[in-house]
Structure 1
C-alpha cells in the first residue's frame, strides 16, 4: 500500500515538494515515520495512549531532523476540527480506522475539510462487498452466507466492527467535495494468511502478484481492504 500512496503523491504534487501530512489514527506511527523520513512535515493523531507511547518511543530514536518534522497528538480522529484549521494539510491519511467508527460520514467530512485545495485524502477501509471471501475460503459456509448481506464482521481481535461499500464511499466523497480519484484492492490473495506466519521464500513474487491484483479488475473488487484516494476540489 505504501507504493500506491507514493504513486499518488508523485502524480499529484511537484517533485521535491514538502507536504503537510495528517495521519489520523496513526497507530504506532509506521506510515507517519516513513513520510517524515521522506522529508514531509507530519502530524500524527491517535487516541490510544499505548499506541501514542509506542510512536513517541520510535520517534525518539530518529535523527533530530526527522524528529523536528513530526509531531504526535493524542486525540480522536472525529475531532480534527478541534485541533486544526480547515485547509491545513496537503495529504490526510485515515488507514484502518473507519471500521471502528459507527457513523463514518461526519468523520470523513471532517477529514476532507482539513485538506487544502488539490489535497489528497487516503482511506483504507474493510471491503463490505467482499465480506464473504474470508469465511468462504476458510470453509465456513454459514458465515459466508451471512456475510453477503452484511456490513458487520468480527475482526481478528475478536471485535465486532463494520465494513464499507465502494459505491457508498464514492457517493460520500463526491458529496463532501473530495471525489474519488482512484482506488486499489489490498490483500487480494493473502487475507487468509495466519497472523505471524513467516513470509515465503518467493515473497517478492507474492508482493508483485498482490500489487498487480490490487490494480486489476475484477480481482481488486474481491480484496479484503480497499484503498481509496479522493482529491479536494
Structure 2
C-alpha cells in the first residue's frame, strides 16, 4: 500500500520516464530500494545497522547487474546526512519506519529536507500517536490502551521500545523545514490486528482487501485511526 501511495506522489511530481535520484533512509532488506531501482531510478540506501547492510547486499546480489549498478549502499545514520550528501542531492527521500526509533525527530527531518532538491518529495511512514490506543483496545488490553492516551511511547510487536508521532506536530515540522505536507494517508486501517505470521489472502480476496485498505487510507475519518501514517511533503511546496 505504501508503495502504491509513493508511486502516486512521484507520478504527480515528475515526468514519466525520468530517472530519479532516491535516498532510502533505513532501507532494511531493501524492499522499497530494490523496487525503485527496478523501475529505473538511482537509489542510495543509508543504513546504520551492519546486519541490515549485509541483508541488503545479499538481496541486491540476487538482482541483475543493471539493477545492482543503480543501487548504492552507505553505512551511516539518517541523522548524519550532511556528512554524506550535498544539499539538493536527491529528488525523493524515503524515511519509512524509522522515526519511531528516534527520540528527537526534528533534526533528522531537517537534514532530510536539506538533501532534497527543489520540488523533491519527502515520504515518511510513522506510527500514528493519535490512534495508539486502537490496537491494545481492540485486543482487550485495557491498561495499555489507557496509557496510550497520555504518552506516545509504546512497545512494538518484537518488544522494542518506540514512540509514535502526531499528524498535527509533523505537519508543523514539515512546514518549518521547507517541505510542507502535500498529502497523507492511513496505513493498516483494517489489518493492523493480523498476526505477523498470518499468511495474506490470495487472488480476488487479496484484491478486495487492498481496495478496502486503499479506500480507507484516503478517507476521513478512517485514515485518522490507522496504525501508521504515510506523509508526503514537497521541498519548496512546488
1:61 deviates by 1.4
> Are 1:212 and 2:212 an aligned pair?
no
2:172 equivalent in structure 1: 171
> What are the ranges of 5 or more consecutive residues in structure 1 without an aligned counterpart?
none
From 223, 226, 231, give the equivalent of 2:226: 223
Q: Would you say 1:89 and 2:62 are equivalent positions? A: no
Using the TM superposition, give the Cα deviation of residue 25 of structure 1 relative to its aligned residue in structure 2, in angstroms.
Answer: 0.5
Task: Report matched runs for 1:38-77 at 5 Å.
Answer: 38-77=39-78
The answer to whether the aligner puts 1:116 opposite 2:117 as a matched pair is yes
Mean Cα deviation higher: 58-67 or 2-11: 58-67
Structure 1 position 200, deviation (Å): 2.8
Deviations 1:41-61 (A, max 9, x none): 000010111111011111111
Q: Distance in 2 between matches of 1:69 and 1:200?
A: 33
Distance 1:39 1:183 in 2: 25
Partners of 2:60 and 2:147 lie apart in 1 by 43
Task: Map residues 12-23 of structure 1 onto 2, 5 A cutoff.
Answer: 12-23=13-24
Q: What TM-score, normalized to structure 2?
A: 0.96
SS at match of 1:33: helix
Residues in 1 aligned to 2:57 and 2:80: alpha-carbon distance in whole angstroms: 21
Runs (4+) off by over 2 Å = none
The alpha carbon displacement at 1:195 in A equals 0.8
Distance between the aligned counterparts of 1:198 and 1:29, measured in 2?
Answer: 21
Distance across 2 between alignment mates of 1:65 and 1:178: 32
Aligned residues: 233
Tell me, in whole angstroms, the C-alpha distance in 2 between the residues paired with 1:12 and 1:200.
33
Distance in 1, Cα, partners of 2:66 & 2:132: 43
| CA–CA distance in structure 1, aligned partners of residues 157 and 225 of structure 2 | 19
Q: CA separation in 1, counterparts of 2:142 and 2:129?
A: 17
Q: Deviations along 1:166-222, whole A, 9 cap, x unmatched?
A: 000000000000000000000001111111101135122111111110000000000
Structure 2 alignment gaps of length 5 or more: none
User: What's the secondary structure of 1:3's corresponding residue?
Assistant: helix
* 1:151 equivalent in alignment to 2:152: yes
Q: Residues 28-78 of structure 1, C-alpha deviation per residue, up to 9 Å, x if partnerless?
A: 111000000000000001011111101111111111111111111111111
- Please name the residue that 1:27 is paired with: 28
Give RMSD over aligned pairs: 0.7
